[in-house]
A and B are shown apart, each in its own frame.
Chain A
Amino acid sequence: MVEEKPKKKMALIASQGTLDWAYPPFILASTAAAMDMEVKIFFTFYGLPLLKKKLKAKVTPTGNPAMPMKMPFGPKFFQNINWPIPAAVSGNMPGFDTVATSLMKKTFKKKGVATIEELRDMCVLLGVDLIACQMTMDVFGFEKEEFIDGVNLGGAAAFLDFAADADIQLFI
């Protein structure tokens, strides 16, 4: 009989709501839960929309100069081209972010990366505690009904109380 070890704990703050930045908290949280850790994610500011029933996370190449601009289709040499699109173009062209978002989603799907929705479902299934920042909800006018079921509300003290005894604390 193996002696029962106390559960490791992980406390995350998810503060970004773009498609690219939505991945790290959900990947780490689902994996940590799969490793029998107790996990809480505190969603604040622009991370809050990641709790909405219908996710609309986008990605923007403008302001992300390191983001590879590659096509998810065509011959290999074509897919390997990193298109040099100046921010002055991407930032001024209407619909550019929508196109970039769609290309990133296609690339991820092709490579077998789970969607944000799938990873979020896994977090819920594995018992990750999703906490919405009450203050940000009030400031940006979010209602609890807009969020997926099972989301809890909390504030800074509630997060810190858990984080103080957590083995891993990350701000994302």
Chain B
Amino acid sequence: MTAHDETLDCKGLQCPMPVIKTKLKMDTMEAGKVLRMITSDPGSCKDIPAWAERVGHTLISTENTDEGFVFLLQRGD
């Protein structure tokens, strides 16, 4: 598992809650810190990259695992 500072479980949630919960979580983190977010929502595969680019966070990786879709996001400035 890649290194990360915080985790967020959004499994079972539908659009737009994974994006909104991720935003609220990232707001509490310092710049440069990495969040591991997991979700069961396939729509997040499009939504999370779009959101991250818009607000200036870096999407390090996206992975489709047995647990769900896993995103590693690094907080921008």
A34 an interface residue at 8 Å Cβ cutoff? yes
Check if B15 is an interface residue, CB within 8 A of chain A. yes
CB distance from B34 to the nearest CB of A (A): 18
Residues B14 and A112 in contact, CB atoms below 8 Å apart: yes
Chain B contact surface mostly: loop
A34 touches B20 (CB 8 A): yes
Task: Give Cα distance in the complex from A112 to B23, angstroms.
Answer: 18
- Which A residues are CB-close (under 8 A) to B54? 35-36
Q: Is the CB of A36 within 8 A of B14?
A: no
In Å, the complex CA distance between A30 and B17 comes to 9
> Is there contact, CB below 8 Å, between A31 and B77?
no
Nearest CB of A to B73, in Å: 13
B16–A1 contact, CB under 8 A?
A: no
Q: Are A34 and B12 in contact (CB under 8 A)?
A: no
Give the CA-CA distance A31 to B54 in the complex, in Å.
12
Q: How far is the CB of A59 from chain B (nearest CB, A)?
A: 18
Q: Give B40's nearest chain A residue, CB to CB.
A: A112
Q: Is B55 an interface residue (CB 8 A)?
A: yes
Contacts of A112 in B (CB 8 A): 12-14, 17, 40-41
Say whether B76 contacts A31, CB under 8 Å. no
Using known A-B contacts A1-B77, A2-B76, A112-B12, determine if residue A34 contacts B17 with beta carbons closer than 8 Å.
no
Q: How far is B48's CA from A132's CA once the two chains are assembled, in angstroms? A: 32
In the complex, whether A158 has a CB less than 8 A from a CB of chain B is no
Given contacts A2-B76, A27-B15, A112-B40, 11 further A-B contacts (CB under 8 A): A1-B77, A2-B77, A27-B16, A31-B20, A34-B20, A34-B23, A111-B14, A112-B14, A114-B16, A122-B20, A126-B23
The 9 residue pairs across chains A and B that have the minimum distance between CB atoms? A34-B23, A31-B16, A112-B14, A112-B12, A113-B14, A35-B54, A34-B20, A112-B13, A36-B55
